[in-house]
Amino acid sequence: MTNESSGILIDINNLVKNYVMGRETVTILKGVSFQVEKGDFVAIVGPSGSGKSTMMNVIGCLDTPTDGSYKLDGIEVRGMSENKLADIRNKKIGFIFQGFHLLPRLTALENCELPLIYRGLPAKQRRAMAMKALEQVGLGERVHHRPSELSGGQQQRVAIARALATNPPILLADEPTGALDMKTGQEVLQLMEDLNRQGHTIVLITHDMEVAHRASRTVIMRDGVLTEERRDRDEADAGVQDGDQERLVKQA
Amino acid sequence: MKLTQGFRMAIKSVLSSKLRTALSMLGILIGVATVIALVGMGQGSTKQVEEQVASLGTNSLSVTITGRGTATSLSLDDAMALADIPNVEGVSPTVSGSATVKYGKNSTSVTVEGITPDYEQVSDFSVQSGRYIASMDVKNTQKVALIGVDTATELFEEEDPVGKTIQVNGSRFTIVGLLEAKGSSLTGSNDEKIAIPITTGQKLFDSVGVRTVALKVTDLDLMDITVAALEAKLLEKFRGDDSSYRVFNQQDAVETLNSVNETMNTMLLYVAAITLLVGGIGVMNIMLVSVTERTREIGIRKSLGAKRRDILFQFLVEAVVISGMGGALGIGFGYLGSYVIGVVNGTDTSVPFNTVILSFAFSAFVGIVFGIFPANKASRLKPVDALRHD
C-alpha cells in the first residue's frame, strides 16, 4: 500500500451540473467539491434523486460538468473533446455497473478484452492482460463462457475483471451489489476490498448505508450537495474483518 | 482500433443474428442476382445478333426495287452497270419468289432466288458439292438449280441431290450443286431455298427487272461515298422518283441493332440500380433497428473507451459486410440464373467478368452509403443516455 506517498487522484471543485428539461433548467449538482486520494476506497451514499448518479457520470467522464473544475489525475477534464474523454475513460477509469453491462454475445474473455481492443493493443497482449484480470477475480476457468452461462455474482466478477484489465488508476462502481443477492453481494464487496488493499483506488456509489460502510470513507450526497463526510468507521462495522482494521490503522 | 479487428468484430456480430442478416441481405442479393442474370442474357443476345450480322458481311449494301412497271424497274443490264461505281467490288442482282418444288412424292414450298455467278462472292455463299451457277447458265436461261441443305434433306432425305431432277412450279430443273449450310440470318433461313439463274428466275416469276441488288464494297471507310454515288445513279435512272427504290446499308443495320441492344442494356442497368437501391434501403432499415436495439451496447462500448469513429466504423463495416455478403451470394445466384435461363431458352448467356466485379463493388458501395446514416446515428449517442437505455 502506498497511500501516504500518493497525491490526489480526483479533484473536484465547486462543480455544477445543469440539465435542461423542456424549458426549465434543473440543477442537479450544486457546487460540489470532493477529493479522492490514490488508494482511497470512497463510498458516495445518497437517496435516489440526490444526484449521486450524475456525480458518478461526471467522475466517469460519461457526462461533462456545466461549471466548476474537475481534475482527474492532474488533468482538467472540463471542456475536453468527446474523443479525449473516450481516451480518458479507456485509460483512467474502470467501470463496474449495477447491471453488469456485459455484452451478451461475447465470452467472458472477449468482454474483458473489449477495452483493450479500443486501446489498440495486439491480440496476444490483450489476451494475456484479460486472462490475468479474470484470474485476479477468480474466474480463470470460466473464461470461455458467455454471460448467460454465468451466475449473477460471476457476471459481476467478469465486469470487475473487465474494469481491471486496463489497469486503470480508478475503479468506479455504481451500485455493484444492486442486482445481486446478499451472499454474492458480500462476495463482490469482499473482492473490492481485496482490490483496494492491493492498491486500487475505488469510488463506490450506493444508496445502501451498509454497503457504504465497507468503504474506508463515506460521503453523503443530498439534493445535489455533499452534506456529510465521514472518515471513521461506524461502530457497527468495527472489527468485522482484519483487512478493515488494517486499513483503519493506516487511515488514522 | 485496428481494421482487421473491426472486420472480425463486425462479421461476428453479423453472424450472431443470422435470420436478420439473411433477411436484410435478401434485397441486395436479389438485386445483384438480377443484374448478373439479365446482363448475362443481354450479352448473350448481343453476341448472337452480332454473329448473325457478321455472317451477312458488314461491307455489303443492298438495293431493293419497290416500284412496278417499266419506268421504275431495273433491268439486269442496268443492275450490272452498277459495278462501274467506284469502290464497288461486286454486284449481285436477284429476283425471288416462292415456289413449290417436287421430287418424287416429296414436295415443299421454298424461296426461289434467281441469281448471277457473282452471288457466290457478294453474298459469301458457296456450294459444298457440285458446281455453281455459271454465266453460261444465265445467258442461256438454263434450267439448273442449287439447293439449300434443309430443302435437300426434305426432298431427298439421305440421297445425294446433285444431278437429280426436280420440278419447280411444274418445270423440270436439274440440280447442279448443293449449297453449304449457313444457318438462319435476320432475313430468314438460308438453308431452305433453291437458287436458279436470274434469267430463268425472271421467266419463272414473269418479272421484267430485278428486285434486289446486293453490292459489295472494297473499302468500308468509303461506304458513305459509295452509298451517295449509288443513290445518285439510281435517282438518274428512275428520273427523280426516289420512292421506288431503297438502299439498305448493312453497316446501318449493325448500328441500329447495336443501339437497340444498348438501349436494352441501359434499361437493365436502371432496373438493377433501382433494385439495389431498394436493397440498400432494406439494409439501412435493419441497421437503424439494430442501432436502436443495441443502444446499450453502444453505451457500454463508449464507457469502455470506444471513440466516435470506432462506433461509426463498427456499424459501417457491419452494413458493408451484410451487403457485401448479399452481393457475393447474389453473384452466385445470378450465375445460376443466367445458366438456367440459357438452358431453358436455348440461347447463349455470358456474364462478363467486369459486370460481376462492378455489381459486387456497387453492392458494397450501397452498404457504405446506406450504412452511413445509421452508423452516424449510433456514433453520436451520448454515453450517459445510451447506458440508461433499456
Which chain A residues are Cβ-neighbours of B12 within 8 angstroms? 105
pLDDT in tens, B252-271: 777 787 788 888 878 877 88
For residue B109, count other CB atoms closer than 10 A to its CB. Answer: 11
Question: Quick check: B272 and B359 in contact, CB under 8 A?
Answer: yes
Residue A239 makes CB contacts below 8 A (sequence gap 6+) with A245
Question: Quick check: B178 and B152 in contact, CB under 8 A?
Answer: yes
Both B7 and B129 in a single domain? no
pLDDT at B43: 80
**B330 to chain A, closest Cα gap in Å:** 28
Between chains, do B16 and A115 touch, taking CB under 8 Å as contact? no
Average pLDDT of the segment spanning B17-29: 87
Q: Which of B198, B223, B243 is the last residue of a domain?
A: B243
Residue B59 inside a domain? The answer is no
Residue B61 inside a domain? The answer is no
Assign B235 a pLDDT band (cuts: 50, 70, 90). Answer: confident
Residue B383 forms contact with A (CB below 8 Å): yes
> Which of A83, A91, A97 has its CB closest to that of B307?
A83
Q: Where would I find the H helices in A7-122?
A: 52-59, 82-92, 108-119
The b-or-e profile of B290-317 (16+ CB within 10 A means b, else e) is bbeebbbbbbbbbbbbbbbebbbbbbbb
Both B96 and B135 in a single domain? yes
**B290 to chain A, closest Cα gap in Å:** 14
Assign B70 a pLDDT band (cuts: 50, 70, 90). Answer: low
> Which of B2, B300, B382 has its CB closest to that of A103?
B300
Please say if the pLDDT value at position B349 is more than 80.
no
Both B194 and B275 in a single domain? no
Give whole-number Cα distances, B145 to B106, B187, B190, B362, in Å.
Answer: 17, 21, 15, 59
Please tell me which residue, B59 or B317, carries the higher pLDDT value: B317
Both B215 and B261 in a single domain? no
Please say if the pLDDT value at position B3 is more than 80.
no
Q: Which of B177, B208, B243 is the last residue of a domain?
A: B243
Average pLDDT of the segment spanning B102-117: 89
147-186 of A, contacting B, C-beta below 8 A: 162, 166
Specify the range with the lowest mean pLDDT, choosing from A169-183, B42-56, B126-140.
B42-56
pLDDT at A109: 93
Number of domains into which chain B is organized: 2
Please say if the pLDDT value at position B287 is more than 70.
yes
Residue B238 inside a domain? The answer is yes
pLDDT at A4: 42
Q: Which of B182, B215, B243 is the last residue of a domain?
A: B243
Please say if the pLDDT value at position B222 is more than 90.
no
Which chain A residues are Cβ-neighbours of B299 within 8 angstroms? 101
Residue B58 inside a domain? The answer is no
Query: Per residue of chain A (252 residues), what is the pLDDT tens digit?
Result: 444 445 888 999 999 999 888 888 989 899 899 899 998 899 999 888 888 888 989 999 998 899 999 999 888 998 899 999 999 999 999 999 888 899 988 899 999 999 999 998 898 999 999 999 999 888 888 889 999 999 988 999 999 999 999 989 999 999 888 888 888 889 889 999 999 998 899 999 998 888 888 888 899 988 888 876 777 544 444 444 444 444 444 444
Tell me which of A93, A101, A107 to substitute to probe the interface with B (most B C-beta atoms closer than 10 Å).
Answer: A101
**A5 to chain B, closest Cα gap in Å:** 29
pLDDT at B1: 57
One of 3.40.50.300, 3.40.50.11540, 1.20.120.1460, 3.40.190.10 is the CATH number of A40-64+82-251, namely 3.40.50.300
Both B264 and B379 in a single domain? yes
CA distance B61 to B223: 9
Question: Quick check: B146 and B195 in contact, CB under 8 A?
Answer: yes
Both B111 and B45 in a single domain? no
Both B238 and B184 in a single domain? yes
Residue B205, sorted as left (phi over 0), alpha (psi -120 to 50) or beta, turns out to be alpha
Both B75 and B217 in a single domain? yes
Question: Quick check: B118 and B91 in contact, CB under 8 A?
Answer: yes
Domain boundaries defined on chain A: 40-64+82-251
pLDDT at A241: 43
pLDDT at A3: 40
CA distance B49 to B70: 38
pLDDT at A132: 92
Both B109 and B214 in a single domain? yes
Residue B274 inside a domain? The answer is yes
Both B268 and B179 in a single domain? no
pLDDT at A245: 42
pLDDT at B276: 82
Assign B372 a pLDDT band (cuts: 50, 70, 90). Answer: very high
Average pLDDT of the segment spanning B190-210: 87
Which chain B residues are Cβ-neighbours of A53 within 8 angstroms? none
* Chain B residue with minimum CA distance to A53: B384
pLDDT at A249: 42
Residue B297 forms contact with A (CB below 8 Å): yes
Global pTM? 0.69
Residue B273 makes CB contacts below 8 A (sequence gap 6+) with none
Both B213 and B74 in a single domain? yes
Structural domain boundaries, residue B196:
67-243
Average pLDDT of the segment spanning B192-221: 86
**B19 to chain A, closest Cα gap in Å:** 16
Both B296 and B183 in a single domain? no
